Structures are given as C-alpha cells and as structure tokens.
Structure 1
Amino acid sequence: MPDKDFYQVLGVNRDASDSEIKKAYRKLAIQFHPDKNPGNKEAEEKFKEISAAFDILKDPEKRSKYDQFGHDAFRGGHSSGGVDPFDLFKDVFGGGGGRGGFGSIFEDFFGGGGGGRASEGVSGNDLRVTVSISLEQSASGVEKEIKYSRHLECSECEGSGSADGSSKTMCPTCGGVGQVASNQGFISIRRTCPTCNGSGVKIENPCNSCSGQGRKKSSDSVKVKIPAGIHDGSRLCSRNRGDAGPQKGPFGDLYVDVQVKAHDLFERDEDDLFHELFIPFTLSTLGGTVETPTLDGKVTLKIPPGTPCNKTFRIRDKGMPNLRSPSHRGDLYVKIVIEVPKNLNKEQRQKLVDYGLSCGEEDLSSESGILDKAKRFFDGDN
C-alpha cells in the first residue's frame, strides 16, 4: 500500500472528528465505487485507498497508533492490525461469500456490524477527553484524576429500562435484530431501529426515571496513569469507562488525549531536548564554566576559550525518557548564544579600542570598527 497520508486521502484535518471522517469517506466511497465506475481501474484503486484509510481512522485505537507511528504501526514489527485492502474488500470485488455488496461497506455509518443479535446488547458510546500536563510531568510520569460526564446504569431499574414487574417483547419493527434495512438504488443501508433504539426488544412499561433507556447522565471521575516519556498528542484508553449501553448494553471506552504544554526553556524532538544558553562574549573568548538548566536541575558546562556563537554542546542522558524503555533517556543539546554588549560606558569602550589597536585594527569608527568586527566574530561570520 502506498505511503500516502490517510488524512490527506480522505481530505480531512488530523484533528477531524469521527463524524467528519465518516462524512468524508461516505462522499468519496460513493464517487469512486466500482459499481459506479465499471471497468475503471483507477477508480477501483482509489476506492481501495480511501477505504483502507477509513478502516484505520474510524477505529480510535488504530488511529492513535497511526498518529504516533504512521504507516510503520501496521508493518512488520508493529503487528497491530495491519490492513490489506484486497482482504478488506474481497466482498466488494467478488472475493468470497460474506455479506457482499456495497451495503456492507456502509454498515459502519449506520450502526452496522454483522447484524449481532439483540441479546448481546447495544454498546455505549466511546468518549474522549483531553488532559494537559507539563514537560516535567511528561518526563517523570504522572497520575491525573479526570472528571467527566457519562451515561451510567439507572439505579431505579438497574439498567433494564423496565419498571418493576413489566415485561419485554421482541421489537415488531426489526424482529429483534436491532437494525432495519432499506434499499436506495444499488445501496443497501442499515440503520438503528427507531422503535427499540437498537435493543431488539420493546418495553411494555418503561422505567419512569430513565424513560426506558436503562441509563442516565451522571458525573464520574477516573484516575489515569500517564507514563513517563509520553509525547504530545498521544492517546490513552481506559476500557469500559465510556457510556453504558442502553438496557444493560456493554460500556464503551474512554479515550484520553494527552497534551504536553510548551516549555519556557526547552524544545523537544523525540527523546532529545534543546536549549539556548546566553553567555557574555568575554566568557566565550576567555573560556570558563557556566551553569545550564536541565529537567533534573542545573549542571555545570565547560566553555572552551574561543567558543563561537551557535556552538552546540551535547549533555548525555539529560533528555526525555523513552516511552517504551524509560531507563533509556535522550540527550540535552545546549546551543551557545553570545550576548554582544550594546551600551558601553566610556571606560569600557576605550579598553575595547585599545584591544583593537593591539590587534592591528585601524578603522575604529562606530559603524565598521572594532565593535562591529567583534560582533561579526562572535556571530560566526568571520
């Protein structure tokens, strides 16, 4: 499969919502479906491409892996659910049995799947929240308590949706399947049954507290352990912490998007950190030692005589811990920035003039004299 960016394939931004991704795929799938483009190999390949992209981005777990590792997440060592478009679409292109036809592709949009029985229950929605942490917390790992709202089982009916003593019967609209199908031309569309909301049963006497849903909106909280070395934009999953399904249906999951705030002193690139250290030109000329900050506190850095501007020093193991191997850390790169004095008093200026004369400097004008030459030297332009 060509390494095309899946978001670009669907024409959506990387922060697109699930509904935006589904809408983009539905539009492209209709446009390039082989039934509408018979004999058009280019359209067929395009359809495979957009469908493979949708298969990854519609799944929160696969999408998280793709956001972090790109296409490498589904190759070789990352055997975490790779997608072969020819296997994915064998039903569409005549590869064998199954549900077949264009309708099966669209089941994802309309509550579909393989048509599970109502006794399995309708799953609750997955939820997403965002938590912000500092770079220091990302380096050490942190536990965060997240407060959010979700649907929980109704305490009055214990999640059944029925009032005490009331009975349930098979839904007459969907026959207990939880879905109804309709044909629109060559497209077969499955939707959640409007009568039973996907449960497959009809409640004779609904619970007054939850109106037969078996769940109510409630406040909740969960403690999430954020591992050391986590990157900005990473996503964690807390199983069964999403919405409860209607009428004792299984819980959805809670996805936690981690946002690492920008730092005042350090820039991050993978596991390495970068810092600009300002020093006086006398120190860069004569050499000496200076303290530089790290995430673990200040360390002493030796400055050799004649150190030019933009010289970068590497301090090993003072970067970020590796997410998969926290005992291994990146490095800290310190780039030297030389501060050239702007406001010299008369005595300071005369001493620099004397230094210039001792070096054979003849032109000591304010525009092109020793100060400008010194500035060019310390900026690395000599």
Structure 2
Amino acid sequence: MSLPVCQTFPIQVFKHCKTVCFLNHGLSYMQDYYDLLGVSRNASRSEIKTAYRRLARQYHPDINREQGAEDKFKDIANAYEVLSDEDKRSLYDEHGEAGLKGFASEEAAYASSFDLFESLFETLDGMESIGGFDGMGFRSKRGRRVQGPDEQQELCLEFLEAIFGASKDVSVTRLENCTNCKGSGIKPGTKPKKCRKCGGKGQISSSMFTPLGEFRQVFPCNSCGGAGQSITTCNTCRGEGRVRKKTTLRLEVPAGVQSGNQIRVRSEGSVGRRGGPRGDLVVSIYVQPHQHLKRDGNNIRTTCKISYIDAIIGTTVTVPSITGKAELKIPAGIQPDTTLVMARKGAPALGKPNNRGDQLVHIQVDIPRHVSGEERTLIEQLSKLRHGQPINV
C-alpha cells in the first residue's frame, strides 16, 4: 500500500532529548485523551492533574528506560495539556482532535511534554538522588538556584528527656557552599567560556528521514551539560559548588515526644545549588526504655507487687513515677491484677504540655509458696474463723 504524500506542518524543536516528526496527513495513531490518562469524561481538573502527575513520573524517559516509554510520556503530556484547559477540552469533547488545530502553532512552546512536566514538578522528590537529571532531558542545573536536599539524623533520648523535653546537641554532616569558589563551582581566577561543541546553545540536534517524514532529535550538549558554557572546575568541590562539612546544632526537643516521632527543623539541611535555599533537617527520635516505667501513649504504666496480707487489709506503698517516688494507697480487699489509676501523673501530650495522661499501676499479689510453721498456724486459725469454726487459743 502506498503512503499519502507527506505534507508540511510547522515543526516544534524541543529543548530536550525528544523527537519531533512530520506525520503524513490523514494517519492517526492518537489514543483517546481520557483513556490515556485513565480518567472518565466527567473527571474534574484535580483528578486529571493527579492522573497526569502519576503517569508522568511512571513514564518519564529519564526514569523509565523501557522501549516506548518516551512516546507514552509525550502522549499523556499532550492529553493533559488539552484536558486541563477548559477551552481546548470543550473543543476536543465536541470535535475531537480536529477541533484543536487552531492551537497547534499558537501554543507550540508550551506543547513540549518536557516543559509541561517541569512546570508541574519544579522539585521532583528524590531528583538529586537520581543524579539530578543533568544531561538526561531536563535543563541543566548549572547556574540555576535549586533548593538543597533534606538531611536525616537520629537522636537517642533518655526516657525522662522524652517526657519533659530537652535541649540536645545534634551532629550533622551537610552540604555547605565551597569556600574556595564561593559556591559557583568555577575555579577562582577563571571565567566561563562559550561551549565550542554547541556554540553556546546548550543543545545539539540530529535529523533522520523516514517514510513517515523527518524526525529531528535535540539533545543537551554532553560537553557543557546543556549550560552553553564550559568552565574550569574548582579543585576543591570539583565543580559542584558545595562540600560536605560536619557541624553541631542545638535542638530543642519538645515535651511528650515518643520513639518514631520526627522533628523537622526548617532550613537546617544542606545548602542548595548556586546559592539556593537550604533543605530541612529531619531528626528521628528513639527513646531508651526505663527500668520501671513504660510509655503507653500519654499514659505511664508500672507494676507494684504487694503481699497477700496487704491485699486483704490494705496499705500504702511507694511507687516510681516520672517525677520521682509517689505514694499510692492500696484499698483493703484489692484483687490480683487490678489496675489503679493515678490521675494526671502521666506524660504530657506532644504540643499540649498541660494535657497529661495518667499513671496506671498494675497490682500483683504475692502469694508465698512456703510459709513458716507459726504463720501456717495463724492462717489455719484465720481460716476457721472465716468459716465460723472454734479457734484453739
């Protein structure tokens, strides 16, 4: 079967590693936009945006290396661009793709699937841990201010420090601006020069002709990383502009924290690229166990063992508490495994120091396995008295 004559359409040259093609007029391979995003035709803009963000992460070619991922990424970006715009969506719903032709050249710059991705993912979680995407399809970060990453640290607290709060020193190794190049990444005494390979454009392109038309690919320059400039890198930071340094910070731990809680300290993480703002310091709390006390939410649990005689006639005992020793009255006739409540003697709620839990004291009755002869005689007499029998004096 012969193909129709290839007609000329306006070409959009993208700034990233992506393919632009002239398709033969009349050939249509576009899937329904709603099906592409996996949403219904009455989906809200919020639902459409959520679906796009999920699929864009999944199929971005810098993350997904499978064959066809890049084409899928472009298709879902095109679908989102249409369905997120009320006017375009209305035309598409009424006339299909044919109704959108008037928008093609007018907004071609925004039609770039990669630009659209960046507009919604200005700071993609984990971007730096994947290598920053430099030279992988995003604009080069050289010269662009980027917020620094968060730093993670663990802090071990004693039991009572977690209850009442504490001021603790935390040792952190974080990225700081290189003092040699002042964060620029450029060797002192040198200046950036126009990249010879790309002529300062930051991009190189190649074309390929196929039966379907011309395909043009645009790549970030692998010599300058897409910056359009070549530099002599700083010997200290090797062009990064940042170096890791150890520092000690004073952390005010609030009262009522527990193991597993995290404290986020704003702007105490690593410094950003090229003077970008700092990330945060995230401190994970671990609380050491106490010898006698146990945390149960905002309540404090402990165990008290009493004799069977004290259980019968009652007594007053001393129990450990978060404030030291405390007296607890044991009522006469208390049963084994009873829990007594010491109101508002527990831990404060996190962020609400006046809202305190209780101390719960679990009573254990100690029944002896062996008794002396005299004690046994007295117990037997007590038993007879209990059952209305005469006692031998």
TM-score, shorter chain, exceeding 0.5: yes
Structure 2 gaps of 5+ residues are 1-33, 58-78, 87-109, 204-218
- Distance in 2 separating the partners of 1:333 and 1:165: 70
> Percent identity at matched positions?
26
Query: CA 1:281/1:139 → structure 2, altered by over 3 Å: closer, same or farther?
Result: same
Q: CA deviation at 1:243?
A: 2.0
Match of 1:123 among 115, 128, 147: 147
**SS state at 2:352 partner:** coil
Query: CA 1:255/1:38 → structure 2, altered by over 3 Å: closer, same or farther?
Result: closer
The equivalent of 1:164 in structure 2 is: 188
Listed as ranges, the matches of 1:7-86 within 5 Å are 35=36
| Structure number with larger C-alpha Rg | 2
Listed as ranges, the matches of 1:91-240 within 5 Å are 91=80, 94-96=83-85, 104=117, 108=125, 110=127, 119-168=143-192, 200=227, 202-240=229-267
Deviations 1:290-319 (A, max 9, x none): 111110011211111111112222212211
Higher relative contact order by CA 8 Å / sep ≥ 6: 1 or 2?
Answer: 2
TM-score (norm: length of structure 2)? 0.59
TM-score (norm: length of structure 1)? 0.60
Match of 2:373 among 346, 353, 366: 346
CA RMSD of superposed structures (Å) = 4.3
Q: Which AA in structure 2 matches 1:94? A: L
Q: CA deviation at 1:222?
A: 0.9
Contact 1:294 1:318 (8 Å CA) reproduced: yes
**SS state at 2:328 partner:** strand
**SS state at 2:349 partner:** coil
Query: CA 1:49/1:144 → structure 2, altered by over 3 Å: closer, same or farther?
Result: farther
**SS state at 1:145 partner:** strand
Contact 1:91 1:99 (8 Å CA) reproduced: no
Corresponding position: 1:267 with 2:294: yes
Structure 1 gaps of 5+ residues are 1-32, 56-89, 179-190, 363-382
The equivalent of 1:255 in structure 2 is: 282
Query: CA 1:212/1:120 → structure 2, altered by over 3 Å: closer, same or farther?
Result: closer
Q: CA deviation at 1:93?
A: 9.2
Most deviating of 275-284 and 321-330: 321-330
**SS state at 2:348 partner:** coil
Q: CA deviation at 1:224?
A: 0.7
Deviations 1:103-126 (A, max 9, x none): 8388556558x9798654133221
Query: CA 1:100/1:211 → structure 2, altered by over 3 Å: closer, same or farther?
Result: closer
Aligned length: 279
The equivalent of 2:61 in structure 1 is: none
Corresponding position: 1:246 with 2:270: no
